[in-house]
Structure 1
Amino acid sequence: MNRLPSSAASASPPRAAAQTRFPLAIVGAGALGLHFAARLARGGPVAVVARTAQRAAQLRAGIYVGDMLYRAEAHGPDALPEAEWVIVLVKAADTADAARLAAAMRPRGVLSLQNGLTEDVLRAHCGGAGGVALVAQGITTEGAFRDGDRVTPSGAGETLVPPGFEAVAGLLSRAGFRARVEPGIAAARLAKLLVNLAINPLAALFRVPNGALLDPPFRACLDALVDEAWPLLRAEGLALDEAAAHARVAEVARATGTNRASMLQDVLAGRRTEIDAITGMLLAMAARRGVAVPVHQAVFTLVKLLERG
């Protein structure tokens, strides 16, 4: 997922003066955003909002996504098109900026497919009176990573969207994604959080692809994180029993076996990670309920040390 600059935080980002109204736009030109955009673009126009005008120009010149040279219909934050639907795929810390950009495109709806639980922030900055009426967070377990100047898709997952986003699910399905509307999206988001809690920090700490976490010596750590998080997430509304929780994490790790988790990509690139939006979210839940989660606390501390050094 991509970061946006602080300059994107203007109250009313300008739109391009003479642009087609796109059926779909993606805010976030990181590996996952470009993976989605490149596949969706095979079936129709897709706008990509990059972090700067310079980056947008680079994407218009072309970038390899898998084996395909993809010339994105890319825009900087200072020249936004209009769009019917907007998918947000940026780092959780950049949600507010991305929401303002999304709202400026005057869409029917804004859908987050980010890590963490970002729906409240998204709604606060692009919903409300006079804002976008339909704002929600779905989930995706698709995988992609940046390999030099190339984006490498690395695992076919599933994308779930909330009711109201049937049109987006249709666009995704026609592009070949496994996508569907999920009425119980709140529980599904907690299941995705569980997956991120287990896989992302360990991949970053051990610097291994997702699939390696299923083998010794990493598997014991993976299981310990699931064991500790499951009761807390269950109390918050997770619909999986304990065995199903372990199976879900293993299934995603296996399906995205060659993927470099986003937190690993951030550590390797010297960027700030999403540990606050992922493990930090669990620590806040634990504090609210008076529950100790020492394994997650240790992982959180270690990843924060990596960020500093």
Structure 2
Amino acid sequence: MTTFQPLIATAASPRPQTTPNPARYPVAIIGAGALGLSFAARIARTLRVAVVARDRAAAARLCQGVRVGDSLFQPEAWAPEEAPQADWVIVLVKTGDTAAAARSAARMQPLGVLSLQNGLVEPVLQAHCPLPRVAQGITTTGAFRDASGVTPSGDGEVLVPPGFEELASMLARAGLDARVEDDIVPARLAKLLVNLAINPLAALFRVRNGELLEAPYRLWLDALVTEAWPVLCAEGLALDEAAAHARVRAVARATATNRASMLQDVLAGRPTELDAITGVLIELAARQGAAVPTHRAVHRLLSLVEAPAG
């Protein structure tokens, strides 16, 4: 198998504005945000990887290079309408862009499509990508983007459902902690629990993940876990309450320097994934007749932060 190393721009070897049409890629990533570029840079150490950006202009900018960690990474970037074929497609877009990403993935004629997004997006993905292998896995890795580039901020794990063994092996060869999880539903719910506790609080108080373990944020963090735990258990979460609190604290500690995705969105003036995360829990709680007042308060407050000034 031919390996691919990211190119480093020099005066003697400028990059073209567009990527030449290649043979089929082993892996493609739809989503050129912080996490998508962090994954792509890792995978590109061992395999050719295509990055599908939001549009042609964004793809052209990426081809000129972006700092990921301590290195300049020049992805083979594509606009959605020009995306090449690929064996495996990883979806890492915001939840509101899931349907469009699914349609792009289907046109790439892959063996399988795997979402590593927040929330519970598998039904939307499958509705718009009618292929045999379309599923949602999870990742607890972290990364954030600022004016200087992308900063990886926490090496978590990548769990994929059965049927994605080949992709898991590719990710493992790239140095990611990737493995197949036979029962992926409880794992998805455990990730949702983490996102429910960390993401909206980080955005609301504009702090990094690790600060949520300290006063006064810790009271909010614990309250969100306590309220969400019985609701998610009714849906299949396989953690007792003590383990649920321990999981959230462990992720906050492991990603202490990370700016949660909702915080990045708030700072950039973009819509957040509030409804796809906290909104989902509120809907589940209403269906079960459960009270989640702290989540409702956080949802209301963060909605006010998102709302444009009148």
1:18 offset after TM fit, Å?
A: 4.5
Q: Which amino acid aligns with 1:192?
A: K
Q: Distance in 2 between matches of 1:78 and 1:118?
A: 22
Instruction: Give the corresponding residue for 2:300.
Output: 301
TM-score, structure 2 length as denominator? Answer: 0.92
Q: Deviations over 1:239-289 (max 9, x none)?
A: 000000000000100010000000000000000000000000001101111
Instruction: Give the corresponding residue for 2:82.
Output: 79
Q: Distance in 2 between matches of 1:306 and 1:103?
A: 36
Q: SS of the counterpart of 1:86?
A: strand
Q: 5 Å matches for 1:263-274?
A: 263-274=262-273
Instruction: Give the corresponding residue for 1:99.
Output: 102
Instruction: Give the corresponding residue for 1:134.
Output: 133
1:189 offset after TM fit, Å?
A: 0.2
Instruction: Give the corresponding residue for 1:144.
Output: 143
Q: Deviations over 1:39-71 (max 9, x none)?
A: 100001000000011111111111000111000
Instruction: Give the corresponding residue for 2:160.
Output: 161
Q: Distance in 1 between matches of 2:210 and 2:188?
A: 22
Instruction: Give the corresponding residue for 1:42.
Output: 45
Q: Deviations over 1:137-193 (max 9, x none)?
A: 000010000021400001111110000001111111111111110011001000000
Matched, 1:25 2:46: no
Q: Which amino acid aligns with 1:49?
A: V
Q: Distance in 1 between matches of 2:21 and 2:202?
A: 44
Q: Distance in 2 between matches of 1:19 and 1:307?
A: 41
Q: Deviations over 1:219-241 (max 9, x none)?
A: 11100000000011011100000
Q: Distance in 2 between matches of 1:142 and 1:287?
A: 31
Runs (5+) with no aligned partner, structure 2 = 1-18
Q: SS of the counterpart of 1:26?
A: strand
Which of 33, 43, 55 is the equivalent residue of 2:58? Answer: 55
Instruction: Give the corresponding residue for 2:172.
Output: 173
Q: Distance in 1 between matches of 2:25 and 2:58?
A: 20
Matched, 1:202 2:201: yes
Q: Distance in 2 between matches of 1:135 and 1:288?
A: 27
1:80 offset after TM fit, Å?
A: 1.2
Instruction: Give the corresponding residue for 2:69.
Output: 66
Q: Which amino acid aligns with 1:94?
A: D
Q: Which amino acid aligns with 1:56?
A: A
Q: SS of the counterpart of 1:303?
A: helix
Q: Which amino acid aligns with 2:129?
A: C
Runs (5+) with no aligned partner, structure 1 = 1-15
Q: SS of the counterpart of 1:155?
A: coil
TM-score, structure 1 length as denominator? Answer: 0.92
1:207 offset after TM fit, Å?
A: 0.4
Q: Displaced runs of 4+ in structure 1, greater than 2 A?
A: 16-19
Between Structure 1 and Structure 2, how many residues are aligned? Answer: 290
Q: Distance in 2 between matches of 1:262 and 1:18?
A: 32
Q: SS of the counterpart of 1:277?
A: helix
Q: Distance in 2 between matches of 1:19 and 1:124?
A: 29
Q: Which amino acid aligns with 2:219?
A: A
Q: Distance in 2 between matches of 1:20 and 1:61?
A: 21
Which of 93, 107, 111 is the equivalent residue of 2:114? Answer: 111
1:77 offset after TM fit, Å?
A: 1.3
Instruction: Give the corresponding residue for 1:4.
Output: none
1:19 offset after TM fit, Å?
A: 3.2
Q: Which amino acid aligns with 1:210?
A: N
Q: Distance in 1 between matches of 2:154 and 2:217?
A: 20
Q: 5 Å matches for 1:166-245?
A: 166-245=165-244
Q: Distance in 2 between matches of 1:230 and 1:59?
A: 41
Q: Which amino acid aligns with 1:271?
A: R
